[in-house]
């Protein structure tokens, strides 16, 4: 009877040691992950970001990705994950590395900051018809607090001169004759640029010989 009891005790101790060894194995054989982001810095709303979690090696190695909660269902697997960032603000992603010897990995987190796209500028000036090459024409958009503005022109070589500190008003000179000329305005916050608001200038004509320039 004592022999049977001793055998049971030995078996129980052996099972306990095996369990502890398995726990220790899971805790000490989990690869260490890190997460990098491309492009770096703040992402403009609607753009994609690529997250990279290197370091997951070993038999059966696989990275799983989780959004907002490390214990939520995975949204992707593999070393790389490229979500489209449709919501402005900060989103936290977690990566876990599973291997044949690591079933309870510690998640690694990474925050992605997303900036909203500004609304396209609102025209203040109207379209202009029958304009002349190398004369100056003024175009203006409505100002929005916290935004600055940038401009471009068509055809190539159009000269744009800011008339205000935030560039809500500019002077444009069109360099060559063309069926139509355009001035494009864009709103910019700290990171992101809006779609364009354009001013259509119909019929860019050459000045008659020796004609004086119209004052800007």
Burial of 165-177, coded b for 16+ CB within 10 Å and e otherwise, reads: ebbbbbbbbbeee
Same domain, residue pair 133 and 195:
yes
Nearest to 65 by CA among 16, 24, 98: 98
Give the whole-number percent of the chain exceeding pLDDT 70: 81
Task: Return the CATH number at 157.
Answer: 2.60.40.10
C-alpha to C-alpha distance for 69 and 76, rounded to whole angstroms:
14
Count of domains forming the chain: 2
126: CB partners within 8 A, 6+ apart: none
Predicted local confidence at residue 205, as pLDDT = 67
Which residue segment(s) compose the domain that 94 sits in? 29-115
Give the pLDDT mean for 63-69: 97
Is residue 176 situated within a structural domain?
Answer: yes
Predicted local confidence at residue 89, as pLDDT = 97
Q: In which band, very low, low, confident or very high, does the pLDDT at 125 lie, cut at 50, 70 and 90?
A: confident
Q: In which band, very low, low, confident or very high, does the pLDDT at 80 lie, cut at 50, 70 and 90?
A: very high
Give the pLDDT mean for 57-67: 95
């Amino acid at each position: 009877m004592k022999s049977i009891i001793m055998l049971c005790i030995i078996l129980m101790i052996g099972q306990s040691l095996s369990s502890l060894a398995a726990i220790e194995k899971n805790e000490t054989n989990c690869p260490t992950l890190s997460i990098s982001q491309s492009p770096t810095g703040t992402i403009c709303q609607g753009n994609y970001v690529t997250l990279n979690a290197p370091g997951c090696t070993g038999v059966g190695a696989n990275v799983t990705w989780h959004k907002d909660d490390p214990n939520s269902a995975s949204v992707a697997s593999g070393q790389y994950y490229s979500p489209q960032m449709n919501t402005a603000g900060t989103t936290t992603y977690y990566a876990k590395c599973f291997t044949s010897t690591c079933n309870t990995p510690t998640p690694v987190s990474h925050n992605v900051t997303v900036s909203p796209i500004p609304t396209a500028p609102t025209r203040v000036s109207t379209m202009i018809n029958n304009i002349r090459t190398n004369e100056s024409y003024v175009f203006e958009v409505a100002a929005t607090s916290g935004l600055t503005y940038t401009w471009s022109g068509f055809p190539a070589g159009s000269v744009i001169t800011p008339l205000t500190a935030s560039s809500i008003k500019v002077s444009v000179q069109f360099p060559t004759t063309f069926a139509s000329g355009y001035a494009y305005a864009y709103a910019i916050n700290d990171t992101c640029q809006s779609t364009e608001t354009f001013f259509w200038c119909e019929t860019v004509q050459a000045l008659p010989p020796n004609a004086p320039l119209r004052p800007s």
